[in-house]
Amino acid sequence: MKPVVIPHETYQEFVIEQLQLYYAGGMLVLVNKDWPLIAKLWITDLSEITTLLQDGYSARGPAPRDPASMLRSFLLFLLTKPEIGITAWVDELHQVPLYAMLSGFEPGDVPGVGTFYDFFARLWAASEKNFKPHKQRRKRKPKKGKKGEKAPTTTPGRIKRLANWMMRHMDKQKDLPMDRLFCFFQSQFLAVSARLGLLGDIGTLGIAGDGTPVVTAAYPRSKPTCNCHAQGLAKCNHPRIYSQPDCDTGWDSARERYFNGYHLYTLTAANSPHDLPLYPRLHPASRHDAVSFVVSSVEFSQRFTLGMVDKILLDAAHDAGSIYDLLIHQNIEPFIDLNVRGKKNLETNCDIRISPEGIPVCPAGKEMKHYGFDHSQKRHKWICPLMKKRTINTCKKPCSTAKYGRTFHTCSKDNPRLFPKTPRDSEKWKLIYKRRTTVERTNKREKIDYKLESGRHRSTKMWYVRIYGIMMCQHMDAWYSHQKEDLKNLKQLVFHKAA
C-alpha cells in the first residue's frame, strides 16, 4: 500500500500531544539536554521523503510505516547513539519512550529491525548493494607513500587522461544508486541551509575538498573459489569472493599505516561558518586524492542546482596541471597549494627565471615584487624588488635602464599552475585559502563526533545511507545553532495547555 504524506505540522502536534500525556504530570521528566534534541527534530521537515519514495511502494498490501518517521528515527539514532547498531537502536526505542515519540511513533508501537532495513533499501536506486561484483581477482596492497605523503598514483598520466575524458563527457550524466539520497539531501537540507545563509554566497560558492580514510575492517575478508590451498599451493591467481567488493587496501599517510576500507572524498562549503558538507563520494581505499577529486567534482557539478561554484580550495596533493585545466574548463578558479617537486628555478626565454613557487627571480637572484593584475591582457605584472618610491633603483647592478626598473609579465593561460589568477603570495590568496581547513573539520565531525566508522556495515549501500544521515545531522546542528534564540520558547509552547 502506498504511504500517505503526513505534514510536518501534524508531526509537531503529535509530539506536543505525547509529551503532554507522558511528561506534563510528572510521571516522566525531561532534562535540559533533551530540549536541543527536541528542537532539532521540531525544525526539520522530513515529509518530502514520503513523496520521493512513493513510487517504490506497492499499491496493495498492508499500510507501511511512515517514511518520514523512519528517517527521523534514523537521524535520532545518529544524534544520540551512533556507536550502536540498528538492532540495539530498536531496543532503545522500546526502553526510552522519548525516542519513540520524537521519531513519530507511539510508545510500544515501534518498527522492527527488518522494517528499518527495508526502508534503507528504498533509499538506494539499485538492486545490487555494491558497485562491483563479489567475485574479483586477488587484491594487492598499494605502494607506500613517503613520510607524511600520499601513496603515489599507480599509473603515470592517469589524472591527465581522466580529466581529459571528463571534459569531453561532462554533459553526459550517469545515473548513480545514491542519486536518490542526494536529491533529497539537496532539496530538503542544502536548500534550507542556503536560505538561512549558512553556505555563504550561493551565487559565488566556494568549495573545499579533501579525502579521508574510512576503516571498515581490520583486513580484507574473502573466500577462495579454488582448492589450490588444499593442494599445497600457497599463492594462486584465481578469483576470490570478497564480502566488501568495493573496498580495498590503502595507505593512510597521516598515521603511516595500511588500512582496509574506503577513501571518502568530501566537498564542503568553504565559507560556511558551520563547516557544512555538500557532497560525499566513496572510493576504493587505494585511490589517490587527485583521482577522487576529478570524479567527485564532476559528479557534483552535474547534480548541484542551487547556485554557481566560483572557486575550489585544495591541498598540495591535488597540484596537477590537468586539475587546473579541468576547473578552468568549468569556469572555476582553483586555489591549490603548490606541491614543490624540485628546488631548481625554471628557465625562461630571457634572463628571468621562475622559482618552484611560481615567482619570477631576477638575474641578481632576488624574487621580484608583484605589482598587480592587468585585466585587459589577463596577466600579472612583476617589478624589480629593489625599487623604492617607484623610480629609485637601489640595485648595485641594475639589469635594466628603464626609469621604472625591470618588469616581467606572467600569464595564467601559459601555466595556470605556476601563475594562478590570484598570486599565491598575495593577501587575497591567504585570506581565501585559509578556509580550506573547513573540509578537515567536516571530516573530523563525521568520524569522531558522529562515529562514522562504528557502522560495521558490509555494503556500500549502507555506508552511503549512514554518511548521508550524518551529513543531515550536521546541517540540523547548524540550523539549531542559527535559530537558538527563536527556539527558547519551545518548552512553553509544548506545555502551555498543561499549565
In a domain, 428, yes or no: no
Query: What phi and psi values does residue 228 have, to the nearest 5 degrees?
Result: -60, -35
Q: What confidence score (pLDDT) does residue 380 get?
A: 81
- 116 and 145 within one domain: no
In a domain, 382, yes or no: yes
By the 8 A CB rule, do 138 and 220 touch? no
- 155 and 15 within one domain: no
In a domain, 178, yes or no: yes
What's 351's DSSP letter?
Answer: S
Q: What angle do CA 464, 100, 11 make, to 5 degrees?
A: 85
The secondary element (H helix, E strand) that includes residue 71 is helix 67-80
Distances from the Cα of 418 to the Cα of 10, 314, 425, angstroms: 58, 15, 12
Q: Report the relative pairing of strands 333-336 and 309-314 from DSSP bridges.
A: parallel
In a domain, 292, yes or no: yes
Q: How far apart are CA 244 and CA 286, in angstroms?
A: 14
3-class DSSP state for residue 346?
A: strand
Grid cell listed for 226: 579454488
Location of C-alpha cell 533533551: 34
- 80 and 141 within one domain: no
By the 8 A CB rule, do 261 and 214 touch? yes
In a domain, 348, yes or no: no
- 281 and 234 within one domain: yes
Q: What confidence score (pLDDT) does residue 498 get?
A: 46
Number of domains in the chain: 3
Q: What confidence score (pLDDT) does residue 499 get?
A: 45
By the 8 A CB rule, do 73 and 104 touch? yes
- 394 and 365 within one domain: yes
- 18 and 74 within one domain: yes
- 367 and 271 within one domain: no
Task: Read off the pTM.
Answer: 0.89
Q: How far apart are CA 171 and CA 152, in angstroms?
A: 30
Give strand pairing partners of 393: 387
By the 8 A CB rule, do 152 and 144 touch? no
Q: Last residue of some domain: 97, 122, 147?
A: 122
Provide the CA 350 distance to its chain's centre, in angstroms: 45
Give strand pairing partners of 373: 380
In a domain, 373, yes or no: yes
* Ranges under pLDDT 70 in the chain: 145-156, 340-347, 377-378, 412, 414, 497-499
Q: What confidence score (pLDDT) does residue 391 get?
A: 75
In a domain, 485, yes or no: no
Q: How far apart are CA 494 and CA 257, in angstroms?
A: 52
Per-residue burial over 133-162, b if 16 or more Cβ lie within 10 Å, else e, is ebeeeebeebeebeeeebbebeeeebbbeb
Q: What confidence score (pLDDT) does residue 231 get?
A: 86
Residues near 50 by beta carbon (within 8 Å), at least 6 away in sequence: 3, 4, 5, 6, 66, 67, 68
Q: Last residue of some domain: 92, 122, 152?
A: 122
- 368 and 448 within one domain: no
- 315 and 187 within one domain: yes
Q: What confidence score (pLDDT) does residue 234 get?
A: 77
Return the sign of the alpha-carbon dihedral for residues 408, 411, 415, 420: positive
Q: How far apart are CA 279 and CA 124, in angstroms?
A: 16
Residue 33 structural domain: 8-122
In a domain, 469, yes or no: no
- 197 and 256 within one domain: yes
Q: How far apart are CA 269 and CA 91, in angstroms?
A: 37
- 375 and 405 within one domain: yes
Per-residue pLDDT tens digits for 326-350: 999 999 999 999 886 655 666 677 8
- 41 and 148 within one domain: no
Q: Which amino acid is at 53?
A: L
By the 8 A CB rule, do 136 and 240 touch? yes
